[in-house]
Amino acid sequence: MSNTFSLDGAEVPFAPGQTVMQAALTAGHYIPHLCYHPEFKPHGSCKLCTVKINGRTAASCTMPAEAGLEIESDIDELNDLRRRLVQMLFAEGNHFCPSCEKSGNCVLQALGYDLEVHAAGFRHQFPDRPVDASHPDILLDLNRCVLCELCVHASSEVDGKNVFGFSGRGITKHLIVNSESGKLADTDIALTDKAMQVCPVGVILPKRVGFSQPIGQRRYDQRPISAQALDDAPRPSTGASHD
C-alpha cells in the first residue's frame, strides 16, 4: 500500500512521521487552523483543525498520517463547528478588530473572513485582563490571548528565555510572564525574539509602530489565510538527487 491517504476525495502523499495536517499542507491542501505552527510540535489546543477520519473526529495537527485513511475536512458539519469555535474565541476575549493594531495581520480575524463568520453568535464576556506596558519596546495585551501556546514554545525552544508560561486550569487558565514581578520589563525579551513573531492575534505588539502598514498592504488584505498557509507550508527540496 502506498503512503497516501484520502482527503475530501483527493489522494495525499505523506512521509513517515508526518501528521495529517503536515502532509495536507505540504501537498497543497488547506485545513483551517490557529494554534498549529510548522516550527513547533503540535499540541491540538484550538481544535479548529478537527477532521473526520474514518467517521470519527480528530485533530489533524496531532493525528499521525497513515496509509488508507479516509478523511473529511471541507464539509458543512466541520465548517459549522469551526465557525462556532471562532465565534466563541471572539466572544471570550476583547477582540475589537477596527481598533486593533493586528487587524489585517491577525489569524483569528482572517479565519473569521475565510469561514464567513458574520456575527459573534454568543454574548461577549468582556473580560477585564491586564495590559502590561512596562517594557520600553513591547506591549502585552492579555485581553486578546487565545491560549494558543505559541509564544511559550517560541520563547522556550527558540529564544531559550522562558519569558512566558501558563497558570491555572480550564476556565482559569491564563498567560503569565515568568518574572518575580510578573512584569514584562523584568524579563530579557527582545524585539528580535521568535516569541515576538508567532502570536496569531494582538497580544504581543512592538510599541510605536501601530497602524504603520496601510490597509490593502497587510498580510490578509489581498489573499485569504487559506492561500497564505499553503505558501508557508514546508516543501520537499527540489534539488535532491534521486539516483
Question: What is the band of 222 on the pLDDT scale with cuts at 50, 70, 90?
Answer: confident
Mean pLDDT for the stretch of residues 219-230: 93
pLDDT in tens, 176-191: 999 999 999 999 999 9
Domain 4-74 part of CATH 3.40.50.1100:
no
Q: Which of 88, 126, 128, 124 is nearest to 108 (CA)?
A: 88
Pick the residue with more confidence: 232 or 72? 72
How big is the CA angle at 191 (ends 190 and 194), to the nearest 5 degrees?
85
- Architecture of the domain defined by 100-225: 2-Layer Sandwich (3.30)
Q: What is the mean pLDDT of the chain?
A: 93
Locate the domains of the chain by residue range. 4-74, 100-225
Whole-number Å distance between alpha carbons of 36 and 50 = 12
pLDDT in tens, 11-52: 999 999 999 999 999 999 999 999 999 999 998 889 999 999
Q: Which of 43, 80, 70 is nearest to 59 (CA)?
A: 43
pLDDT at 242: 40
Whole-number Å distance between alpha carbons of 157 and 127 = 30
pLDDT at 119: 83
How big is the CA angle at 19 (ends 15 and 22), to the nearest 5 degrees?
80
Pick the residue with more confidence: 60 or 2? 60
Percent over 70 (pLDDT), the chain:
96
pLDDT at 243: 39
Q: What one-letter code names the amino acid at 218?
A: R
pLDDT in tens, 232-243: 887 765 444 443
Mean pLDDT for the stretch of residues 139-153: 95
86: cell is 471562532
Whole-number Å distance between alpha carbons of 208 and 35 = 27
